[in-house]
Structure 1
Amino acid sequence: MIQFAYAAMVPPTALSWETVLVVEDEAMVCEIAAEALADEGYRVLTAADAVEAGRILQAERVDMLFTDIDLARNTNGVALARDARRHCPRLPVVYTSGGRHALPAGEAVTGSVFVPKPYRPSQIVALANRILGH
Structure 2
Amino acid sequence: MIQFAPAVFMVPPAAVIETVLVVEDEAMVCEIAAEALALEGYRVLTAADADEAGRILAQEEVDMLFTDIDLARNTNGVALARDARRHHPTLPVVYTSGGRQSLHDGEAVSGSVFVPKPYRPSQIVALANRILGH
TM-score w.r.t. the length of structure 2 is 0.88
Q: Please say if 1:56 is aligned against 2:32.
A: no
Q: Specify the structure having the higher radius of gyration (Cα).
A: 2
- How big is each residue's C-alpha offset from its partner over 1:63-106, in whole Å with a ceiling of 9 and x where there is no partner? 00000000000000000000000000000000000000001131
Cα RMSD (Å)? 1.1
**Structure 1 unpaired stretches of 5+:** 1-14
C-alpha separation in 1, matches of 2:30 and 2:65: 13
Letter in 2 for 1:25: D
What fraction of aligned residue pairs are identical, expressed as a percent?
A: 88
Q: Show the counterpart of 1:11.
A: none
> Displacement of 1:24 after TM fit?
0.1
1:128 counterpart SS class: helix
Letter in 1 for 2:100: R
Residue of structure 2 equivalent to 1:86: 86
CA contact (8 A) 1:24 1:30 kept: yes
Distance 2:30 2:82 in 1: 21
The 4+ residue runs of structure 1 with deviation greater than 6 A are: none
Which whole-Å CA distance do the structure 2 matches of 1:61 and 1:49 have between them? 18
CA–CA distance in structure 1, aligned partners of residues 37 and 105 of structure 2: 26
Who is 1:65 aligned against? 65
* Offset of residue 16 of structure 1: 4.8
Which residue of structure 2 aligns with residue 101 of structure 1?
Answer: 101
- The one-letter code of the counterpart of 1:48 is A
One-letter amino acid matched to 1:110: S
2-structure distance, mates of 1:105, 1:94: 15
Q: What CA distance in whole angstroms lies between the structure 1 residues aligned with 2:105 and 2:129? A: 23
Size of the alignment, in residue pairs?
A: 121
Q: Structure 1-normalised TM-score?
A: 0.88
